[in-house]
């Protein structure tokens, strides 16, 4: 594994993998919904869509057909703190696939007619999320927890802003945020090293460095209650508390704690609410880490008349776990997390993603063996300490979507809430 830094700040990471004949190529751009103003909400996601709609060298159809001729797949997604463009293909075609990505990033047409067509697609995508109880609950939760931070903004944006974007708006944002100092190129698997060098040097490596734009955002967790009355067949909730920011050394303990609480079929939440009581078809926990902020969240979907039982059981399980986990739970969680981590890294694409994320969020290349060493070094006390810290925190936020009750009904289930 090797990292090369160009004079304009572009980072190029090589990850050769023996005995494979495929390659994964990707360009990470350190911009997402967290970097948008209120007027720009959704612009990162809109740009991601539009880069597939043609360049000065290739039409949208050319991009699709050429990628098919390479025998691979091309895709992208937008997150809160980055946008990732990537392709999987045969090793002999890695340079050609990367050439398509670089062309999309450096020579996009951003045609006005294409923009209008894609605007409708994105608005339909947003409407689709509005039909999902879990998505509605999650978006409302983020907005309530981080009301004064762009971290709480929806990635897709809102209808008012998405309906108003022009090609010039997209070009202006790209001039500011799509600069080489905010880009990471990852090439993994089997590839032509000299071909990659030459291509990147004349494309992304020749761009002008952008202005320094340090993230001026310190999100503070806000205890809150968000209710969305929707005509869903089931009611969905998201109960959150402050988690760990990206790069926190306790993240390995969090992997185990999350698994024990709601990360698998043997977890406390699943066994109690789904298997023993039959209160919820879907119930699980997750942890999301961002720069300077993290969120530990429990999700559940259930019949509206079971809300009190579901909330009671979730709170009871969290309170019990705050007092510690058992040796059996600890060992089972470590075995499962290690196994899933190892198996999840057996593809070229997974290894490329791991390396890209490490560089983006920590500015360094992490050897995967180090992750296993960290997991092996954990003790039950490490997990117990984190459980007390996270679950013992009285700050809670609750979001409910579906057949909701009056606000006063939910107040006993959370602490220190503020009206939103």
Going by C-alpha positions, the residue among 114, 83, 41, 49 that lies closest to residue 177 is 83
Cβ(192)–Cβ(95) below 8 Å: yes
Going by C-alpha positions, the residue among 104, 246, 101, 106 that lies closest to residue 186 is 101
Residue 202 CB neighbours (<10 A): 10
The three state secondary structure string of 96-116 is HHHHHHHHHHHCECCCHHHHH
Q: Which of 2, 7, 36, 48 is catalytic?
A: 48
Own/partner pairs, 156-159, CB within 8 angstroms, 24+ separation: 156/42, 156/45, 156/122, 156/125, 156/126, 156/129, 157/33, 157/36, 157/41, 157/42, 157/43, 157/45, 157/46, 157/122, 157/126, 158/41, 158/42, 159/123, 159/126
Q: Which residues pair with 89 in a beta bridge?
A: 23
The single residue listed with the structure tokens 């009301």 is 147
Encode burial over 392-402: b for 16+ CB neighbours within 10 A, e otherwise. Answer: ebebbbbbbbb
Q: Is 176 among the catalytic positions?
A: no
Report how far apart the first and last C-alpha atoms of the chain are (Å, whole number): 48
Interatomic CA distance for residues 233 and 385, integer angstroms: 39
The catalytic residues are 48
């Amino acid at each position: 594994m090797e990292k090369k830094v160009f004079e304009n700040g572009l980072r190029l990471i090589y990850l050769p993998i023996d005995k494979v004949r495929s390659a994964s190529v990707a360009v990470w751009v350190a911009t997402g919904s967290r970097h948008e103003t209120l007027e720009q909400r959704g612009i990162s996601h809109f740009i991601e869509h539009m880069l597939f709609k043609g360049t000065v060298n290739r039409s949208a159809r050319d991009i699709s057909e050429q990628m098919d001729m390479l025998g691979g797949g091309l895709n992208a997604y937008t997150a809160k703190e980055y946008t990732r463009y990537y392709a999987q293909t045969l090793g002999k075609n890695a340079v050609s696939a990367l050439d398509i990505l670089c062309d999309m990033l450096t020579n996009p047409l951003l045609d006005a007619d294409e923009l209008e067509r894609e605007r409708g697609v994105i608005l339909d995508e947003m409407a689709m999320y509005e039909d999902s109880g879990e998505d509605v609950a999650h978006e409302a939760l983020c907005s309530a927890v981080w009301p004064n931070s762009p971290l709480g903004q929806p990635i897709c944006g809102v209808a008012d802003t998405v309906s108003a974007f022009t090609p010039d708006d997209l070009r202006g944002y790209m001039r500011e945020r799509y600069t080489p100092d905010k880009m990471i190129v990852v090439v993994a698997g089997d590839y032509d090293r000299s071909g990659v060098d030459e291509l990147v040097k004349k494309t992304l490596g020749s761009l002008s460095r952008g202005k320094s734009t340090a993230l001026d955002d310190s999100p503070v967790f806000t205890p809150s209650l968000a209710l969305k009355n929707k005509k869903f067949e089931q009611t969905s909730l998201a109960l959150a508390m402050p988690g760990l920011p990206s790069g926190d050394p306790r993240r390995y303990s969090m992997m185990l704690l999350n698994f024990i609480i709601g990360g698998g079929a043997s977890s406390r939440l699943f066994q109690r609410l789904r298997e023993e009581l039959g209160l919820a078809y879907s119930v699980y926990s997750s942890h999301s880490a961002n720069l300077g902020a993290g969120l530990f969240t429990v999700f559940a979907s259930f019949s509206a008349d079971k809300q009190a039982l579901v909330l009671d059981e979730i709170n009871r399980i969290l309170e019990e776990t705050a007092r510690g986990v058992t040796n059996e739970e600890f060992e089972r969680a470590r075995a499962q997390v290690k196994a899933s981590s190892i198996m999840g890294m057996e593809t070229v694409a997974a290894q490329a993603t791991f390396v890209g994320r490490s560089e983006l969020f920590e500015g360094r290349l992490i050897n995967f063996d180090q992750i296993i060493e960290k997991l092996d070094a954990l003790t039950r006390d490490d997990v117990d300490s984190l459980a007390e810290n996270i679950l013992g925190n009285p700050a809670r936020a609750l979001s409910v979507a579906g057949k909701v009750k009056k606000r006063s009904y939910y107040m006993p289930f959370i602490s220190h809430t503020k009206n939103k």
